[in-house]
């Protein structure tokens, strides 16, 4: 039988058997440690004589040391995965044994071993026991574990030679599924050095390493760097055509959407390179701290993120209104695990006036965030009556009940598609804006506001989750048009800006969020493919499907410095929007409601066009 097979046989023995072998081995080590201590303490010629005289003390010390090793839990450790804690455990065990025997030596005259023997034997025992365990761990890893895993190991580098990179290395070493080739760091002072016996390279050194022996993945361990810097690093790594995994950012950890030691796919927000401005804490707390809050559409992407932010600001109560049963179930379960604040789940629609009245009055709601809406453009194009009923008339029902209940603050979450809309969804949201603006005009004492912004990364219906799924399944990436562009914002930043904008609202203002620079969807898809370690058009092709009904090629730029007015927040602007007289608006809303009730699509669309004269589906092309 070959040595490797013998070692594998021994490694697969039951833990009790292996512990018994190790116990016997430790006994031999302790005996040798005692002999060494006597050899150092006494003259070699008298060594045998001294051992005979002090034999009772010798065996007593060895027995106490063995007892200390047993009660310390040393034999429950798994050696192949042992780390620095093994050193501490061994030191504690040996010192415990030596201390117990020293105490016995003082109290009992029969065990009069010299103190130097106790100290030296403890030192030699510690070194011997530690060396034996390190040797066993090395042999098992080299000759048993690694041969079984060698074909499965991914060859990687860690980008970031700081504390996060070191912690990641230790975690990967324990996991045993990665083979670390080197560290990479942009700091010239670190380049050329070594960390855990691995070289620290510059980016050019990484390119050379990858060219000579291709890597499977780059692990980005820079959780604290700014988005712009992360974007530049990722753009460089794209040149290598290698996969990338990252440690979560500080924002993801704060939101509770990732674990500190969890490697994950590249956050698309990193590709945008947009750093969030520090939120105004006073604005965040103003309408939430100690208040009863209602969030409609609480199970959706924006609604659920709003709830996360709200729970951090110590509300008195949070009511979740959601039409989808499964979404409500998930939302309630998630939020109860995050906070001890009372949470009230409510299954229902904003079109149910009796339900809204009950919720607002029974729970004495102070602040309402209205995120419930049908937002998927093609689906609303196919179901225009339902889109108009939910988005426009549902908003009217909600704002009326909020005014009756004397709610302190109301915020409508709108969309950039309400600006010169080319689809029914956008037009329905513009009508919802007008209804809220009119309510603010008729009830100037009420605090009512509207927040309008564009696409949110990773929201339901977003292209990002779709692209991820297509890449994972090696399917063609579907892009509607090679030139289509969109504005994007991280979901966490969007939620925080909504809360801050709502706190600044006074009388029906439309707040616009600065979305940064537009992103070409085709470029976004190419980056996602390349950072997955794949080659566009070779591994995964791009498939252009054509613009869908009502879809724009270019979204309107929300922030126009010549028109928009600055606010207290540098990324929030306010705008005055045109609004017909209340009588005219209410008359048209009534006609729209009657048409929807009769399921008269033509009349409903005519009412919609009169309410939103800038609606032009032809502009979508």
The CA distance from 66 to 60, in Å, is 10
Instruction: At 227, list the tokens.
Output: 């988005």
Q: 281-456+489-515+557-620 has which CATH code?
A: 3.40.50.720
Q: How far is CA 10 from CA 13, 132, 137, 224, in A?
A: 5, 16, 13, 45
Instruction: At 403, list the tokens.
Output: 């005014």
Q: Does 265 score more than 70 pLDDT?
A: yes
β strands within 561-611, DSSP E? 565-566, 572-575
- Convert the pLDDT of each residue in 183-204 to its tens digit: 999 999 999 999 988 999 999 9
Tell me the mean pLDDT in the region 310-321.
Answer: 95
- What stretch(es) of the chain map to CATH 3.40.50.720? 154-272, 281-456+489-515+557-620
Q: Can you name the residues that pair with 292 across neighbouring β-strands?
A: 317
The CA distance from 32 to 124, in Å, is 8
What per-residue confidence (pLDDT) applies to 21? 79
The Cα angle at residue 179 between residues 176 and 181, in degrees rounded to 5: 150
What per-residue confidence (pLDDT) applies to 36? 87
**What class does CATH assign to 154-272?**
alpha beta
What per-residue confidence (pLDDT) applies to 559? 40
Report yes or no: 242 and 195 within 8 Å, Cβ to Cβ. no
The CA distance from 408 to 261, in Å, is 42
The owner of tokens 């309630």 is: 332
Taking alpha carbons only, the member of 375, 369, 456, 377 closest to residue 413 is 369
What per-residue confidence (pLDDT) applies to 3? 53
pTM equals 0.69
Report yes or no: 343 and 335 within 8 Å, Cβ to Cβ. yes
Taking alpha carbons only, the member of 328, 321, 439 closest to residue 372 is 321
Q: Can you name the residues that pair with 368 across neighbouring β-strands?
A: 294, 410
The CA distance from 5 to 434, in Å, is 78
Confidence of residue 12 (pLDDT cuts 50, 70, 90): low
The Cα angle at residue 615 between residues 571 and 432, in degrees rounded to 5: 60
Q: Can you name the residues that pair with 453 across neighbouring β-strands?
A: 415
- Convert the pLDDT of each residue in 113-130 to its tens digit: 777 888 888 888 888 888
Tell me the mean pLDDT in the region 407-422.
Answer: 93
Instruction: At 232, list the tokens.
Output: 């530049």
What per-residue confidence (pLDDT) applies to 182? 94
- Convert the pLDDT of each residue in 202-261 to its tens digit: 999 999 999 999 998 999 988 878 888 888 898 899 888 888 888 765 555 555 544 444
What per-residue confidence (pLDDT) applies to 48? 73
| Share of residues in the chain with pLDDT > 90 (%) | 41
Going by DSSP bridges, is the β-strand pair 485-486/519-520 parallel, antiparallel, or unpaired?
Answer: antiparallel
425 phi and psi, to 5 degrees?
Answer: -60, -50
Dihedral, CA atoms, 511, 513, 518, 524, nearest 10 degrees?
Answer: -130
Q: How far is CA 380 from the centre of its chain?
A: 31
- Convert the pLDDT of each residue in 515-548 to its tens digit: 777 888 898 888 888 888 888 888 899 999 988 7
What per-residue confidence (pLDDT) applies to 619? 63
Confidence of residue 431 (pLDDT cuts 50, 70, 90): very high
Residue 23 neighbours by CB under 8 Å, 6+ apart: 66, 69, 70, 75
What per-residue confidence (pLDDT) applies to 581? 93
Q: How far is CA 151 from CA 69, 147, 154, in A?
A: 38, 8, 8
Dihedral, CA atoms, 324, 326, 331, 336, nearest 10 degrees?
Answer: 130
Q: Which stretch of 27-31, 81-85, 112-116, 465-469 has the lowest confidence by average pLDDT?
A: 81-85
Instruction: At 213, list the tokens.
Output: 């022996």
């Amino acid at each position: 039988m070959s040595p490797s097979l013998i070692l594998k046989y021994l490694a697969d023995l039951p833990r009790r058997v292996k512990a018994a072998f190790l116990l016997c081995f430790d006994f031999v080590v302790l005996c040798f440690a005692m002999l060494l201590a006597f050899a150092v303490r006494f003259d070699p010629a008298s060594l045998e004589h001294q051992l005979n005289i002090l034999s009772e003390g010798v065996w007593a010390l060895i027995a106490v040391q063995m007892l200390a090793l047993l009660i310390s839990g040393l034999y429950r450790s798994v050696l192949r995965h042992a780390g620095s804690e093994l050193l501490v455990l061994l030191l504690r065990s040996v010192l415990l044994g030596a201390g117990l025997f020293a105490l016995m030596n003082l109290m009992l005259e029969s065990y009069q071993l010299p103190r130097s023997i106790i100290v030296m034997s403890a030192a030699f025992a510690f070194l011997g026991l530690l060396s034996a365990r390190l040797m066993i761990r090395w042999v098992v890893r080299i000759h048993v574990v690694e041969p079984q895993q060698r074909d499965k190991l991914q060859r990687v580098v860690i980008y970031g030679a700081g504390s996060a990179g070191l912690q990641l290395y230790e975690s990967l070493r324990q996991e045993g599924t990665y083979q670390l080739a080197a560290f990479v760091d942009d700091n010239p002072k670190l380049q050329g050095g070594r960390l855990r016996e691995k070289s620290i390279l510059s980016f050019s050194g990484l390119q050379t390493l990858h060219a000579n022996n291709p890597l499977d993945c780059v692990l980005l361990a820079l959780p604290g760097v700014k988005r712009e810097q992360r974007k530049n690093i990722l753009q460089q790594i794209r040149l290598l055509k290698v996969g990338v995994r990252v440690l979560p950012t500080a924002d993801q950890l704060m939101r509770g959407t990732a674990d500190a030691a969890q490697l994950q796919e590249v956050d698309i927000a990193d590709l945008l390179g947009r750093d969030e401005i520090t939120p105004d804490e006073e604005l965040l707390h103003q309408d939430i701290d100690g208040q009863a809050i209602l969030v409609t559409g609480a199970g959706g992407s924006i609604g659920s993120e709003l709830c996360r932010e709200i729970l951090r600001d110590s509300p008195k109560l949070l009511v979740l209104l959601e039409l989808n049963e499964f979404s409500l179930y998930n939302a309630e379960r998630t939020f109860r695990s995050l906070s001890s604040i009372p949470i009230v789940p409510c299954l229902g629609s904003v079109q149910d006036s009796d339900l809204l009245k009950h919720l607002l009055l029974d729970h004495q709601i102070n602040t309402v965030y209205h995120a419930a809406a049908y937002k998927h453009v093609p689906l609303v194009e196919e179901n225009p009556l339902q889109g108009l009923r939910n988005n426009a008339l549902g908003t009217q029902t909600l704002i009326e009940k909020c005014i009756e209940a004397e709610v302190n603050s109301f915020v409508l979450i709108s969309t950039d598609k309400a600006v010169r809309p080319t689809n029914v969804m956008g037009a329905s949201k513009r009508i919802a804006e007008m209804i809220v603006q009119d309510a603010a005009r008729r009830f100037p004492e009420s605090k009512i506001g509207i927040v309008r912004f564009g696409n949110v990364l990773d929201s339901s219906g977003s292209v990002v989750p779709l692209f991820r799924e297509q890449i994972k399944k090696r399917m063609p990436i579907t892009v509607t048009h090679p030139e289509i562009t969109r504005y994007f914002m991280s979901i966490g930043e969007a939620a925080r800006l909504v809360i801050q904008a709502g706190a600044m609202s006074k009388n029906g203002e439309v707040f616009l969020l600065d979305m940064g620079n537009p992103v070409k969807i085709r470029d976004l898809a190419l980056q996602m493919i390349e950072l997955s370690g794949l080659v566009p058009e070779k591994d995964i092709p791009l498939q252009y499907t054509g613009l869908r009904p009502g879809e724009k090629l270019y979204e309107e730029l929300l922030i126009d410095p010549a028109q928009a007015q600055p606010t207290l927040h540098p990324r929030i602007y306010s705008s005055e929007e045109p609004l017909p007289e209340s009588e005219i608006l209410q008359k048209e809303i009534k006609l729209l409601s009657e048409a929807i009730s009769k399921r008269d699509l033509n009349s409903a669309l005519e009412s919609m066009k009169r309410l939103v004269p800038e609606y032009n589906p032809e502009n979508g092309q």
